[in-house]
Amino acid sequence: MKKKIEKALEKVIFIDNKNIVESGLVKKIDLLSNEIIIYLSLSNPAMHLKNRLIKEITHSIKNQNILDTIRIKMEIKSDTKTKSVIKNIIAIASGKGGVGKSTIATNIAVSLVKMGFHVGLLDADIYGPSIPLMFNIEEKSVNFQHKNGMMNPITSYGVKILSIGFFSKYGQAIVWRGPMVTKVLRQFMHETNWGKLDFLIVDLPPGTGDIHLSLLQEISLKGIVIVSTSQKIALSDVNRSVGMFRIRSISVPILGIIENMSYVFSKKTKEKCYFFGKNGVRNFSKKMNIFFLGEIPMLQKIREYSDLGIPVILENEHIRNIFLKITENIIHKLQL
């Protein structure tokens, strides 16, 4: 019987493509009359990961034709090395690059600071880490605490920031393979002096792929915010991303979607001109049953302030109000 259960547990893959027996998560199996108790030891997983794990273990054991009641007891190990307490980790994702994901991650992070929260921003966009530019800290490099080798994030505009870009020189391509990226991200998450954070915003690389999978398994996310523009080409890529977030082995809650560069104001007529098509993202959100978090117009000021390394919400009231409303919607979706 025990062998059968172990076999079933070996079919459950959780972190790093290893099964839960191999990765040492299973601490003990107790067989009582008509009841199996499985003791697991985990380091601080998100709720959805815990639920997924319970579901998969139960499913796998039932597949072995074992009909006993299954009880799963989890012991949550807190990481003794870090004193960081991060309440909510939210990732900002997009299907395509260039749709404004980093601009939006930046301004949401600063909006949260304006609302009085403690905020961190982790730039995991290995294809184009632009957060250091947007916060005017591209010359900075991360320093390590001498005693324990912990990384200290760099604070700019009240946001604690770590970027993969701090580890490459300007103009240098980052050509890391998946396992290397996973390793660095693990350090970013667990070997960094984040302190106490209400929110950690993670700027994901665009698209879907191996790196996303390991990233999503490594980081305990509360939810995903998707950014897109309205043209078909962008939406077809977003569709793929949504598919990835919703596959069973990942199943991260999607908090909502933001339509960026919705319209420009025509200089002549002062009317809204829907450059990428009207309501493309809004309609997509309805079709896919994703909450519509709001729209952001295409404004020269947004691009200019990005280039200057100043979060635009600090300088422009109209844009600030748009971002504050979107940020409030995100908080609402988190049911905080």
> Which parts of this chain interact with ligand ADP (CB under 6 A)?
94, 97-103, 128, 130, 260-261, 296, 298-299, 302-303, 306
| Nearest residue (CB) to ligand ADP, 61 versus 93 | 93
| Nearest residue (CB) to ligand ADP, 88 versus 260 | 260
Smallest separation, CB 63 to ligand ADP (Å): 42
- How far is it, in rounded angstroms, from Cα 228 to Cα 261? 9
| Nearest residue (CB) to ligand ADP, 290 versus 302 | 302
Under a CB-based contact definition with an 8 Å cutoff, are residues 107 and 186 in contact?
Answer: no
Residue 295, C-beta contacts closer than 8 angstroms, at least 6 positions apart: 258, 259, 260, 262, 281, 282
Smallest separation, CB 307 to ligand ADP (Å): 7
Smallest separation, CB 306 to ligand ADP (Å): 3
- How far is it, in rounded angstroms, from Cα 331 to Cα 132? 25
| Nearest residue (CB) to ligand ADP, 1 versus 308 | 308
Smallest separation, CB 131 to ligand ADP (Å): 9
Smallest separation, CB 45 to ligand ADP (Å): 28
Smallest separation, CB 232 to ligand ADP (Å): 17
Under a CB-based contact definition with an 8 Å cutoff, are residues 106 and 311 in contact?
Answer: yes
| Nearest residue (CB) to ligand ADP, 118 versus 212 | 212
Under a CB-based contact definition with an 8 Å cutoff, are residues 191 and 149 in contact?
Answer: yes
Give one DSSP letter per residue of 28-72, joined into a string. Answer: EEEEETTEEEEEEEEES--HHHHHHHHHHHHHHHHHTT--SEEEE
Under a CB-based contact definition with an 8 Å cutoff, are residues 203 and 108 in contact?
Answer: no
Number of H helices, E strands in the chain: 10, 17
| Nearest residue (CB) to ligand ADP, 45 versus 311 | 311
